[in-house]
């Protein structure tokens, strides 16, 4: 059957299971948007900025496990996608970005809104394509989806000239996919599994360090089996939060610059690190020479480039995390570690990390904790980047798998609002909470319009401290309190929300926090809570730049918040 390039693209997307697209149109992608009218099964979510389309597609991918799809036009439309594509690349998120391009005769002629988007995105995509023939569209889409979701997932870009979108070609999606140069390893090598099992059996003080790869592989049961059968404490990375129940008696929180003090000290004291689906980034390890100084390291990852890149590894295992853990569990004889667990419990009591002061003013930690209590930990939580992100990771306990969506590797401010759009579309009927910073949310605040237009019941909680808080904290600690360019003149967020027809409340006193959260929960649609919090509250614990995890700075507060955890299986 002969179809236009745009029709072939839409048919191919449907064959790949796509049912939603995030985007905004322009001249070079108009033929494709005109074709969308023929495909009501492809829901289009109109965002207000292309960066938001990429973030929404990435968040949709993270909560559904399916590749997210975003559209943009050529030139500035395509370049506006770049931050979102880079964010997806660093957080291993499968996104298919489809951009319009000027017609083929104008490529290389500096035509209006022409840009070499394949050249720009080459370092931040797993692969990208410039489609120069309508007959290539189906095969390109098939390859793009396969590359995006296999191995270590990531974004793929397809650039499609305007005239290719209207050219006619035969549509055939039955062609077998042949990519001889791309063969990800999924099964761990048996000899390495056996070697790892022996090292685990011999360890007296082992720790599992679980990363985002556990969530991507949905290896929750396999991770839990290993931890419970062998009484091994579990620590996560920031992106690994919700890979293991936060209230489980073997959970010791997350590590790193603002992780739990006892988690950092456990890494410092252990004799074995079983790293599962994580990449040993600098925010997690602190000073590399001081990371786990007494420990052997088993590193399980699907990307061989990550193994040994930052931390010396004793037993490398390349493969899919779920498959590797399933195989590894068969070789390990269950055992107990009472002395090691008792030592860690003592560390937890000696170095509590969760503190909330008692005052009439609102501490952001208190507001976030009350959101956790009110939602009973059932919500899917999306954050931006900054202090509010760290406090959310600390004070909201995640027991349900894959319920924290945040920007990790790129650390993209403005991620939270568009990512909430993607999460709400991907998980209809679920509680979606967007916890934002007053600086972060202003970078993409126009997406309030998308939330309203799509009738998405997103609850938005802004931690409004009048600063670019994380940078201000660094200025306070390391730059003599010279607050250059961090004090933030903020608008009245409630009036902005009301302009978009979203009900909103300003909360300035501690006693008003719980009633406000309850009101937001009871409202059937979107709702915005603007918490006016202590302006110079800092995030603790903190590992200073260049320090090891053992040199963690702990909070000066004395009030200790009980860690919600179960004492037994």
CATH code for position 84: 3.40.50.970
Q: What are residue 273's DSSP bridge partners?
A: 207, 297
Same structural domain, 115 and 30: yes
Say which of 66, 126, 142, 162 is annotated catalytic. 162
Whole-number pLDDT of residue 65: 97
Q: For residue 408, tell me if it sits in a domain.
A: yes
The residue-averaged pLDDT of 371-400 equals 97
pLDDT digits (tens, 9 = 90+) for 50-82: 999 999 999 999 999 999 999 999 999 999 999
Q: Which of 355-359, 475-479, 551-555 has the lowest mean pLDDT?
A: 355-359
In the residue annotation, 162 being an active-site residue is answered as yes
Q: How many domains does the chain have?
A: 3
Asked about 296 being catalytic, the answer comes back as: no
pLDDT tens column, 112-150: 999 999 999 999 999 999 999 999 999 999 999 999 999
Catalytic residue, chosen from 15, 113, 454, 553, is 113
pLDDT at 12 over 90: yes
H or E stretch at 97: strand 95-101
Q: Which of 11, 50, 306, 447 is catalytic?
A: 50
The pLDDT-based confidence of 569 (bands split at 50, 70, 90) is very low
Among the listed residues 2, 38, 112, 350, the single catalytic one is: 112
Mean pLDDT of the chain: 96
Contact at 8 Å (CB) between 16 and 156? no
Pairing state between β 168-170 and 2-4: antiparallel
pLDDT of the residue at 15: 98
Whether residue 323 sits in one domain with residue 202: yes
CATH number at residue 338: 3.40.50.1220
Q: Which of 470, 475, 493, 531 is the catalytic position? A: 470
Residues 398 and 512 in one domain: yes
Buried b (16+ CB within 10 A) or exposed e, 32-44: bbebbeebeebeb
Domain membership of residue 48 as a residue range:
2-170
- pLDDT band at 343, cuts 50/70/90? very high
* Same domain for 370 and 345: no
**Is there a single domain that holds both residue 82 and residue 217?**
no
3-state per-residue secondary structure call for 403-456: CEECCCCCCCCCCHHHHHHHHHHHCCCCCEEEEEECCCHHHCHHHHHHHHHCCC
Are 99 and 201 contained in the same domain?
no
Tell me if 550 is assigned to some domain: no
CA atoms within 13 A on the CB side of 65: 9
- Active-site residue 50, yes or no? yes
> Does 248 map to a domain?
yes
- Within-domain flag for 286: yes
pLDDT tens sequence across 85-118: 999 999 999 999 999 999 999 999 999 999 999 9
537 an active-site residue? no
**In the chain, what percentage of residues exceed pLDDT 90?**
93
Digit-coded pLDDT (tens) for 216-231 = 999 999 999 999 999 9
463 catalytically annotated? no
Phi-psi region of 411 (alpha: psi -120 to 50; beta: other; left: phi over 0): left
């Amino acid at each position: 059957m002969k179809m236009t390039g745009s029709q072939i693209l839409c048919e191919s997307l449907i064959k790949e299971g796509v049912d939603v697209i995030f985007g905004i149109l322009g001249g070079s992608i108009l033929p494709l948007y005109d074709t969308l009218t023929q495909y009501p099964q492809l829901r289009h979510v109109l965002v207000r900025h292309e960066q938001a389309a990429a973030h929404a597609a990435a968040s949709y991918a993270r909560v559904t496990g399916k590749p997210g799809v975003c559209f943009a036009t050529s030139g500035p439309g395509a370049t506006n996608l770049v931050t979102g594509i880079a964010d997806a690349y660093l957080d291993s998120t499968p996104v298919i970005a489809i951009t319009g391009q000027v017609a083929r005769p104008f490529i290389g002629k500096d035509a209006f809104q022409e840009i070499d988007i394949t050249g720009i995105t080459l370092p931040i995509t797993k692969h990208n394509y410039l489609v120069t023939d309508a007959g290539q569209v189906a095969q390109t889409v098939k390859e793009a989806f396969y590359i995006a979701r296999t191995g270590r997932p990531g974004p793929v870009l397809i650039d499609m000239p305007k005239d290719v979108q209207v050219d006619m070609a035969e549509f055939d999606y039955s062609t077998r996919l042949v990519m001889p140069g791309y063969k990800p390893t999924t099964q761990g090598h048996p000899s390495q599994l056996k070697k790892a099992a022996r090292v685990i059996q011999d360890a007296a003080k082992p720790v599992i360090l679980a990363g985002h790869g556990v969530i991507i592989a949905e290896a929750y049961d396999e991770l839990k089996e290993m931890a419970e059968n062998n009484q091994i404490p579990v620590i996560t990375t920031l992106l690994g939060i919700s890979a293991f129940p936060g209230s489980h008696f073997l959970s010791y929180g997350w590590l790193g610059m603002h992780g739990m003090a006892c988690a950092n000290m456990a890494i410092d004291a252990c004799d074995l690190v079983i790293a599962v689906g994580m990449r040993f980034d600098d925010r997690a390890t602190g000073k590399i020479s001081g990371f786990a100084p007494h420990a052997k390291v088993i590193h399980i990852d699907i990307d061989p480039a990550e193994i040994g890149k930052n931390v010396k590894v004793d037993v490398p295992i390349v493969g899919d995390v779920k498959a590797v853990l399933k195989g590894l569990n068969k070789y390990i004889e269950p055992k107990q570690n009472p002395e090691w667990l008792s030592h860690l419990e003592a560390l937890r009591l000696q170095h509590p990390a969760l503190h909330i002061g008692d005052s009439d003013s609102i501490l952001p930690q208190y507001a976030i904790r009350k959101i956790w209590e009110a939602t009973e930990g059932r919500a899917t939580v999306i954050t931006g980047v900054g202090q509010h992100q760290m406090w959310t990771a600390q004070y909201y306990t995640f027991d349900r798998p894959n319920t924290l969506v945040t920007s990790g590797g790129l650390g993209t401010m403005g991620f939270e609002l568009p990512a909430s759009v993607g999460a709400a579309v991907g998980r209809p009927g679920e509680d979606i909470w967007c916890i934002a910073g007053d600086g972060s949310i202003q970078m993409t605040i126009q997406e309030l319009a998308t939330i309203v237009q799509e009738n998405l019941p997103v609850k938005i909680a802004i931690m409004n401290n009048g600063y670019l808080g994380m940078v201000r904290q660094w200025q306070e600690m390391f730059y003599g309190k010279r607050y250059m360019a961090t004090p933030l003149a903020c608008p009245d967020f409630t009036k902005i929300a009301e302009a978009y027809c979203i009900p909103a409340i300003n909360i300035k006193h501690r006693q008003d926090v719980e009633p406000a959260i309850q009101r937001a929960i009871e409202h059937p649609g979107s709702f915005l809570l603007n918490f006016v919090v202590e302006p110079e509250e800092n995030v603790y614990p903190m590992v200073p730049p260049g320090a090891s995890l053992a040199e963690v700075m702990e909070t000066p507060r004395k009030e200790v918040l009980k860690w919600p955890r179960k004492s037994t299986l």
